């Protein structure tokens, strides 16, 4: 696995600067990263509705089932899935985010906890989703995946995504975060994994792998890192270009930044 390191700097990104990405992975930084998030909008509904991840949910999850979003951020997926008939619940390790979510979506269950120690009994959930979360533990994803397996009912599915490790992604990461520039203190942010890495971790946690692959859209930052970094001062323009680039090159899976795996807990 490739370990992404990011410079340690004073302050955190928020507002428009959130599009530049947070520099460290802490509850406080993620809460600030989602500070500008708003309640689920028509555009977000449309975006989620055509997302590959939602197609996977429809393929493997049964409406009405209890679904946990492990690392729910500002809860867009939980809210969307509830509208589609799932009994969706959100978990996050930022108490700030959980308190905001309880205020915005008071009719939904929000749980404060970590993915390595989920406050739920064994065999509770029919399904679980986790988008870009398990890679942020420097000790590795083993404990989180073991928890996912524990809280799922036999026959339940977990769908997870992580950054995909390939030479282009590693080069872009080093360019974005000036990893090889001397004289700057750095700390762990996340792992990029190969498909074999993720498969082996899930198998070791007791899952059967039923499907895996790369997850769109194509990534501007991965393919054109100099352009991506050059737009640091223009976050709105960069966000627009990210959407345009992803839509134009949806047919280029080797340009995707994320990958997914669907694991099933044996009966």
Domain ranges of the chain: 2-264
Does residue 51 carry a pLDDT above 70? yes
| CA angle, 114 then 118 then 121, to 5° | 175
- At the topology level, CATH places domain 2-264 in Rossmann fold (3.40.50)
pLDDT of residue 130: 98
Q: In the predicted model, what is the mean pLDDT of the chain? A: 91
Q: How far apart are CA 47 and CA 41, in angstroms?
A: 10
Q: How far apart are CA 103 and CA 232, in angstroms?
A: 32
**In this predicted model, what pLDDT tens digit does every residue of 225-239 receive, in sequence order?**
999 989 988 989 999
**Mean pLDDT, residues 151-177 taken together:** 96
Instruction: Count other Cβ atoms within 10 Å, centred on residue 102.
Output: 15
Lowest mean pLDDT among 29-38, 53-62, 131-140: 29-38
pLDDT above 80: residue 219? yes
Give the phi and the psi of residue 150 in degrees, each rounded to 5: -65, -45
Contact between 250 and 215 (Cβ < 8 Å): no
Phi and psi for 86 in degrees, rounded to 5?
-90, 150
Confidence of residue 9 (pLDDT cuts 50, 70, 90): low
Q: How far apart are the first and last CA of the chain?
A: 31
Residues of the chain with pLDDT > 70: what percent? 93
Half-sphere exposure of 230 (CA within 13 A, CB side): 6
Residue 33: pLDDT above 80? Answer: no
pLDDT in tens, 88-125: 999 999 999 999 999 999 999 999 999 999 999 999 99
> pLDDT at residue 39 above 60?
yes
Assigned token pair, 137: 């533990």
């Amino acid at each position: 696995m490739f370990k992404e390191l990011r410079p340690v700097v004073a302050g955190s990104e928020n507002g428009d600067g959130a599009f530049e990405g947070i520099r460290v992975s802490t509850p406080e930084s993620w809460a600030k990263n989602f500070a500008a998030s708003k309640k689920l909008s028509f555009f977000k509904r449309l975006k989620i509705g055509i997302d590959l991840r939602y197609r996977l949910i429809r393929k493997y999850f049964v409406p009405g089932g209890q679904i946990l979003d492990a690392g729910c951020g500002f809860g867009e997926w939980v809210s969307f899935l509830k509208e589609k008939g799932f009994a969706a619940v959100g978990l996050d390790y930022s108490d700030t985010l959980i308190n905001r979510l309880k205020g915005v979506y008071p009719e939904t269950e929000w749980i404060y906890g970590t993915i390595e120690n989920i406050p739920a009994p064994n065999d509770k959930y029919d399904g679980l989703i986790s988008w870009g979360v398990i890679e942020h533990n420097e000790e590795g994803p083993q404990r989180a995946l073991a928890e996912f397996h524990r809280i799922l009912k036999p026959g339940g599915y977990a769908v997870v995504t992580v950054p995909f490790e390939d030479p282009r992604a590693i080069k872009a990461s080093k360019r974005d975060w000036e990893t090889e520039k001397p004289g700057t203190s750095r700390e762990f942010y996340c792992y990029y994994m190969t498909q074999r890495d993720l498969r082996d971790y899930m198998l070791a946690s007791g899952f059967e792998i039923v499907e895996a692959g790369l997850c769109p859209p194509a990534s501007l930052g991965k393919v054109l890192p100099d352009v991506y970094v050059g737009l640091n001062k223009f976050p709105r323009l960069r966000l627009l270009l990210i959407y345009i680039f992803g839509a134009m090159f949806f047919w280029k899976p080797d340009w995707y930044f994320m990958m997914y795996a669907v694991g099933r807990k044996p009966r």
